[in-house]
Amino acid sequence: MNISFITHYPRSDGKFGCSRRCHYCNWQRLENKKLILESKPSMDLLTKTLDGLSPDVREHIKTITISGGGDPLFSEEPFLEVPKHTMYLIKGIIAKGFKVRIITREIDQVYLLTELLTEKELKHLSVSISIDQKSMKEALGNVAVFKRIAHYVDEFTLVPGAVFSADWAIKYVLQFDRQLERLGYHKAFMLTIRENLRSAFSFPKEEIHDVMAFMNKHLGAFITRWLPKSVCLEKNLYLISPMPVFNDKEVLDGLDMTIDFERLADFFCTDKACILYGGAARSRLVASKHLWRDDRNWEFNDYDVFVLSEDVKRITRYLRDQFDFQIEASYKKDNKDRRFVLRRKVDPTFKIVLYVVETLDIAWTIISEAAVGFNRFGYHKGAVVELEGFSLDDLLENKARILPHKWKYLNPTHRKSAEGNQLKKLIMKGCEVIPLTSAGRIRQSLYNLIQRITHGN
């Protein structure tokens, strides 16, 4: 069991209190929705939490962590300072006989922190640097500062995208490894690669072990290890100031703060009445089959699911009882509910969209008529179902290949608009759009003609 204080100090204008805008940061997403408040959890809360643990568990807690929704050492420029509340927590933790660990990106503030603590207090301090190009630039720009704080740095951390790529990790880590060597500080730092909490599939332990072994063989400044997301979700208690988005709790576990995206995906992928498709399905498929690949943007903000009409009540009840998802909106067609949007109070930036069909054959037909070839697949009853036109190579190479397609069940105008919006999203993610071939254009014209005749327009 680990215990972490979660601090957050908004800017004076109320905006997100951090000098970074990391793509994987859930707190930044929540800030955009005006859901994140100032967080200054108290030392009394730590005492109360420790008192509530069994003696066996309490005995094994040696270190208390301070991390942030933003950054626990963040201060607004041009003033360089350590936030007073963070200092209060650091000194209070040490006074209770614990070691204190700071997770931060702010190297200059770490240096200032070491100047403010006594030699006795510094013996109980360790620092985890969340590494990026800006933090390495700060280190390289002032070697004396880095050498001063290096004694207290027990690890660097990196968070990959929703799909972990060994190619990405090796290339990215090698940059920092060489830069650290240039600093001339010959200490073997631990590099922890923290699994992205939004991953829809956990990577096999044996493959992760092979990647870490390969990296350690080729690195000089780092010794690498992998931190599975289960540690953050299940083995931490987080102390935080009450916020409505987290149900005003002061003591949270990981699942109180975020969704278990993999468990949720597992449910949709295996239930007999569901088909998971779209961006989340693409992310899961790549993660499950191809670890050693160049990194791509496999992020997602929703789960698109076809569901049988006769099972909608069962599915929505399960999502409510097991994950606390509530129906936010429903959309009718022909006097029947045809689409449901569900969200949680925790992380309302993520949604589930249930598309209701009378039979799954209808769903498979719609998927088979996707404009982009790599979208012609889905997960059903624990298996990947690939339809004609699907190309795994295109998916892995990020090639959005346009294929001739019909519109048997969907309004052509609406379908064209939806496909145009999807292509824009794929282009923003770096996809190469490959247009219809000459033969494909002829087939598409024939499909369009049949559609006009069928619908009388």
- Under a CB-based contact definition with an 8 Å cutoff, are residues 156 and 128 in contact? yes
- Under a CB-based contact definition with an 8 Å cutoff, are residues 149 and 107 in contact? yes
CA separation for the pair 68, 452 (Å, rounded): 57
CA separation for the pair 227, 320 (Å, rounded): 30
The Cβ-side half-sphere exposure at 307, using a 13 Å CA radius, reads: 25
Asked whether residue 72 falls in the same domain as residue 162, the answer is yes
Average pLDDT over residues 129-156: 86
Q: At which of 199, 226, 257 does a domain end?
A: 257
- Under a CB-based contact definition with an 8 Å cutoff, are residues 325 and 342 in contact? yes
Q: Using 50, 70 and 90 to split pLDDT, how confident is the model at 143?
A: confident
Instruction: Domain count for the chain, please give it.
Output: 2
One-character DSSP codes across 316-344: HHHHHHHH--EEEEEEEETTEEEEEEEE-
Asked whether residue 179 falls in the same domain as residue 293, the answer is no
Which pLDDT score, from 0 to 100, does residue 39 have? Answer: 95
Asked whether residue 73 falls in the same domain as residue 118, the answer is yes
- Under a CB-based contact definition with an 8 Å cutoff, are residues 40 and 85 in contact? yes
Asked whether residue 212 falls in the same domain as residue 129, the answer is yes
- Under a CB-based contact definition with an 8 Å cutoff, are residues 158 and 103 in contact? no
Asked whether residue 271 falls in the same domain as residue 243, the answer is no
Token reading at 405? 């397609």
Q: Which among 78-92, 179-193, 352-366 has the top mean pLDDT? A: 352-366
Question: What is the distance of C-alpha 131 from the center of its chain?
Answer: 17
Q: What is the CATH number of the domain that holds 365?
A: 3.30.460
Average pLDDT over residues 89-106: 96
- pTM for this predicted structure: 0.90
Asked whether residue 332 falls in the same domain as residue 380, the answer is yes
Q: Which of 45-54, 173-182, 232-241, 381-390 has the lowest mean pLDDT?
A: 173-182
The residues, any chain, with a CB within 8 Å of residue 100's CB and separated by 6 or more, are 63, 64, 65, 66, 89, 90, 93, 94, 124, 125, 126
Chain segment 50-84, per-residue pLDDT in tens = 999 999 999 999 999 999 888 999 887 767 889 99
The neighbour count for residue 456, using CB atoms within 10 Å, is 5
Q: What is the CATH number of the domain that holds 166?
A: 3.20.20
Q: Which of 126-130, 256-260, 380-384, 443-447 has the lowest mean pLDDT?
A: 443-447
Please check the confidence at residue 292 and state whether its pLDDT lies above 70: no
Asked whether residue 71 falls in the same domain as residue 213, the answer is yes
Average pLDDT over residues 325-332: 93
Asked whether residue 189 falls in the same domain as residue 209, the answer is yes
* Among 92, 114, 37, residue whose Cα is nearest residue 70: 37
Q: At which of 233, 257, 281 does a domain end?
A: 257
The domain containing residue 168 runs over which residues?
2-257
* Among 365, 395, 111, residue whose Cα is nearest residue 281: 395
Instruction: Output the average pLDDT for the chain.
Output: 89
CA separation for the pair 288, 286 (Å, rounded): 6
Which position has the higher pLDDT, 306 or 429? 306
Chain segment 303-326, per-residue pLDDT in tens = 999 999 999 999 999 999 999 999
CA separation for the pair 5, 14 (Å, rounded): 21
Chain segment 20-51, per-residue pLDDT in tens = 888 778 888 787 778 888 999 999 999 999 99
Q: At which of 217, 235, 257 does a domain end?
A: 257
Which pLDDT score, from 0 to 100, does residue 410 have? Answer: 67
Dihedrals φ, ψ of 39, to 5°? -125, 115
The Cβ-side half-sphere exposure at 3, using a 13 Å CA radius, reads: 27
The neighbour count for residue 425, using CB atoms within 10 Å, is 11
Q: What angle do CA 262, 264, 268 make, to 5 degrees?
A: 115
Which pLDDT score, from 0 to 100, does residue 366 have? Answer: 92
- Under a CB-based contact definition with an 8 Å cutoff, are residues 271 and 310 in contact? no
Asked whether residue 201 falls in the same domain as residue 350, the answer is no
Asked whether residue 436 falls in the same domain as residue 290, the answer is yes
Which position has the higher pLDDT, 238 or 454? 238
Chain segment 390-426, per-residue pLDDT in tens = 999 999 888 999 999 887 776 677 777 878 888 888 8
Asked whether residue 322 falls in the same domain as residue 212, the answer is no
CA separation for the pair 11, 14 (Å, rounded): 5
CA separation for the pair 46, 207 (Å, rounded): 38
CA separation for the pair 399, 251 (Å, rounded): 45
Asked whether residue 302 falls in the same domain as residue 155, the answer is no
Residue 189 to residues 128, 170, 248, 292, Cα–Cα distance (Å): 10, 16, 38, 24
Token reading at 407? 């519109």
